Structure formats: C-alpha cells, structure tokens
Amino acid sequence: MLTTIKLQEEINRLKKEKDVCILAHAYQTHDILEVADYIGDSFGLSQQAVSAPQKTILMCGVRFMAETAKILSPEKKVLLSHSMAGCPMAEQLTLNELRKLKKQYPDCAVVAYINTTAELKTLCDVCVTSASALKIVKNLPQKDILFIPDCNLGSWIEGKVQGKNFHFIKGGCPVHMQITKEDVENARKNHPDALVLVHPECIKEVTDMADYAGSTTGILAYVEKSDAKQFVIGTDNSIVAHLQFSYPDKEFYPLSKECVCKDMRLTTLVDVYNCIKGTGGEEIILPDDILINAKKSIDAMMSYE
C-alpha cells in the first residue's frame, strides 16, 4: 500500500515527467493542496489555467472549473481528477430555459456566475466569479441585468450596486444555502468575540448579518490581515480546517456543520495519482462551437481585470 507521502512523491515525479500543472480549488483536502502548483478560488484558477506554462492541466475541483480551463486554453490537455465531481448549481438552468429568458428580457445583460456549464456560457454576455462579480456588474454599460443562476450572489451584489435593475430566476448553491440566520445568532452567542466571515453564496439574511462576505480567497485574505483571534467561517468546512492549520494560535469554528460540498470532497489523492498516471479522471473535450462561443463570455470577464 502506498502511504500519503509516497503517493505525493509519485505525483510530484509524474508532474515533472509529463509536464503537468496541478490546479486545486481551496476546498480540496490538505494532502491534495500539498501537491498543487496553484491553490485558489474560481477566478484565480481561471487566471492560472492561462498562465501555466505546462502542456497539461490537472484540475482538482469540479467540472465547470476544468471546462473553464479548457475554454481558456484549448491547446492544452485538461484533465478533471474525478469525473463525477460536478457543481449542482451549474446545471440548474437549461439552455432552452435561458433562450426563453433572453427573449423575455431582451435589453438585459446576461451575467453568468462561472458556476455554469460550458454550454450555458455560450448564451451569456459576461461571466463573473464571486471575487470579480461586484466590480464587473458595477462597470457594465447595461442598466438591466439578468443574473444567472445564483440568486444569493446576485442579491448580495444588488445590495452594493446603485442604479441597476436586477432580474433573478432561480438557483443557488445547495450547500451554502443551508446556513440560516439562526446559525449566525447561535455563533454570535457561542463565540461572542469571533468575527463571522461568509461566502456570498449564502442567503442574504446571512450575508447581511456577517462581518465580512467574500470569495474563498477573500475570506482567506481577510483572516491573514486581521488581528482578531477567533473566526466563525460560513463556507465549505474544508476552509475551517485549512485556516486552523495555517494559524494554529487562532480559533476557527464552522458556521454550520452541514456546510460540506460533497462534490468537492469526491476527489482523493489516489484519484489525482490515477489521473496523472493516465488510469483515471477524465479528459475534458468540448465541441469547437462551444469552445469558441463560451470563450467570449469568459474573455469579457477577463477584460475587466
């Protein structure tokens, strides 16, 4: 049986031998983060997919992240380390539903959270991530915004932008949406000195009550800069563990025990090993028309940087 350290050594050896760049979303487990060339949120992963010099990208995260990497770097081979790791929110709206909505709201800019399928991105004007959404929506020339599919992220932005009309349809992250106002009240009672930091995929009642709302990387950066000693974290609970590991002298608590993304948790170090060896994972292949048309909305997002 291979130990964690042996597996990591083998992965690091194969990475060099096969010219592979491993990108890992921050929700992945610690043993995977240790073999990654880059760790980040959705926006950071998109940027790294372009700048990585390697010919192959191995994405440890969920499908839409690997698809985004492929769209941005079609000449590279892009692998998803676990073929069943998807984001349920990415599939909440179908292509036909979006076609109908575009007819219903012809003057709206269609703003898509990056947590959407490649197919859906082909019909959108601009993609956003939780880290880039506010800046992009503020600067869009259109006054009317059709924001898909995350109503919670959309409402959070609506609360911070003036002079625009927002339309939301349905959808949201089933993991973050489980966090309730009562969870925040309990956290304040149990940890009165702690700051409450949440992801904007949480419902509006929760983001309104938090000390800070921001992307995965935003939450990590907030802790790094803060002098506070205790934090309650309202995002995937892997972040609680990573923060506790990085700052052993501070205290971190989950806002809800339920906030665990099963899809992000599917990938194991053995999956990464099998994928890099060529006996597991999935190569992302997208038809040319999807690659070309989906790229327009991601390029539009990048143009705001």
Per-residue binding string, ligand SF4, 182-221, x by CB under 6 A, is: -------------------x--------------------
Residues in the interface with ligand 13P (CB under 6 A) total 12
251: Cα within 13 Å, side-chain hemisphere: 10
Residue of 216, 238, 267, 297 interacting with ligand 13P (CB under 6 A): 216
| Count of residues near ligand SF4 by CB under 6 A | 14
Residues 6+ apart with CB under 8 A from 116: 64, 90, 93, 124, 127, 148, 149
Contacts of 5 (CB under 8 A, 6+ apart): none
In contact, 210 and 225? CB cutoff 8 Å: no
Taking contact as CB under 6 A, which single stretch among the options 71-79, 87-95, 127-135, 296-304 is the one that binds ligand SF4? 87-95
Expressed in percent and rounded to 5, the helix, strand and coil fractions of the chain are 45, 15, 40
Taking the least distance from each CB to ligand 13P, the nearer of 16 and 257 is 257
Residue closer to ligand 13P by CB (options 172, 281) is 172
Among 8, 48, 129, 152, binds ligand 13P (CB under 6 A): 129
Closer by beta carbon to ligand SF4, 92 or else 297: 92
Binding site for ligand 13P (CB under 6 A): 41-43, 87, 115, 129-131, 173, 201, 215-216
